[in-house]
Structure 1
């Protein structure tokens, strides 16, 4: 194992204590910083110019992830050693992988992510579960979407569980937050996007929407809360309400699965035009 010239920081160190405070949403919002936990997240963060403030790692992780350490050095990002107990206090994971990064917020104003008429956008309205929100971001990234919008009282994008659920995708595509879901819908339409609400009571079947060429148009998919879906007044603002066909006996699909089906249907349609 490589030797290091500085002693690792302990849990009592003030810098470590300040990073721990980023577990609180209010502290994150005040400082516009969050923690990316694990090598995949740190790797993704280091690809975004100016995102990473500092990396904290154990001595063993510094050896195991020497490539990340070299990348941080190239970017002149500080790589700080901490002991195992301190790392356990910084990581939200049950089994910490020994490396976390303090990152600057990534969200952009809504008008920025809608500039130039993107082809595919996901708008999440009042999505509360961090795992679902993170999975939607990951799925949107995989489907080649251009942006994700977290609207209304949606979960904080920088919640540690949300960040972990994105598996690095948080750093791959633009993200916006918007206080009013209805405003996000209207502004997407003004930007030239057709808004499709994923709604089990929709008037159009997803398969029919694909056959009719509707999904090939620049689209913003609108997804609602895990428990109660989309409010009627919000769904009514969409250009169409689209239902995913249920061929078996399941009552419905959960949010992240429904988002995957819809986003990939659009991605497939756009590739074949």
Structure 2
């Protein structure tokens, strides 16, 4: 198993635990360039890209995930301390403090991606994490969180990505329009997912390099941003549902592209 720290497990009042707990705040994460990876999948992903600073675990979790933590120095903490570091209803018992791993936007587009995701003003951390996970599953080359989007290191985003945050580059763009223009400059066709779009998803030619543009959960894409896209694409609704939520729409669009690109 990993090498547990000697002595009594740290409590919630310990300075190291309290300092790590502060990483639940975006301002602290941004200032320190650190974040928390909660649960075995997230910790496994973080270890795979060598961004781990410290691993906290309960004694039970250190035994349960002995293979994962093999050769890793583990700081033992009690149940209350791990609960303070986790935002899960039922903590898994292992949390890592990690360095930020975001990639600059120019690096993501410079790699000549064939499938890219650009999110504009996506505020819900669970949605953002699910989109990252879906992009990973569909074989996308990167995700850009643009505008006023939640940061990739929000604990709920990290947890919802189920390790995918560590599998593909995730970039931050203060201006989503910058990401759209950068993708187009590298030869990607930018498709805006828009319920009022003129082009039906299943009529679209998705075989070429594509960047999908997704908007805010409540109000969608701003008109000026959607206007920058090469096409506005609508997912057909065959039943009586008004629309699809963001993460479902992203899954439909990304898998349609993945299928077309692999045909």
| TM-score, shorter chain, exceeding 0.5 | yes
From the superposition, tell whether residues 228 and 4 of structure 1 become closer, same or farther in structure 2 (CA, over 3 Å).
Answer: closer
Match of 1:106 among 101, 113, 124: 101
1:4 and 1:156 mapped to 2: Cα distance? 32
Q: Is the 8 A contact 2:46 2:52 kept in 1?
A: yes
TM-score calculated relative to the size of structure 1: 0.93
- Structure 2, unaligned stretches of length 5 or more? none
- Kindly state the Cα deviation for residue 11 of structure 1 after the two structures are TM-superposed: 1.2
From the superposition, tell whether residues 89 and 66 of structure 1 become closer, same or farther in structure 2 (CA, over 3 Å).
Answer: same
1:5 and 1:142 mapped to 2: Cα distance? 40
Q: Map of 1:215-254 to 2, 5 A cutoff?
A: 215-254=206-245
- Kindly state the Cα deviation for residue 78 of structure 1 after the two structures are TM-superposed: 3.1
Instruction: Give SS of 2:196's match.
Output: coil
Corresponding position of 1:26: 27
2:80 and 2:198 mapped to 1: Cα distance? 55
TM-score calculated relative to the size of structure 2: 0.97
1:12 and 1:252 mapped to 2: Cα distance? 47
- Kindly state the Cα deviation for residue 191 of structure 1 after the two structures are TM-superposed: 1.1
Q: Is the 8 A contact 2:12 2:84 kept in 1?
A: yes
Corresponding position of 1:9: 10
Corresponding position of 1:151: 146
- Kindly state the Cα deviation for residue 6 of structure 1 after the two structures are TM-superposed: 2.1
- Kindly state the Cα deviation for residue 3 of structure 1 after the two structures are TM-superposed: 9.1
For the aligned residues, what is the CA RMSD? 1.4
Corresponding position of 1:117: 112
1:232 and 1:98 mapped to 2: Cα distance? 45
Q: Is the 8 A contact 2:4 2:74 kept in 1?
A: no
Q: Is the 8 A contact 1:58 1:83 kept in 2?
A: yes
Instruction: Give SS of 2:206's match.
Output: helix
Instruction: Give SS of 2:56's match.
Output: strand
1:256 and 1:162 mapped to 2: Cα distance? 13
What number of residue pairs does the alignment pair up? 262
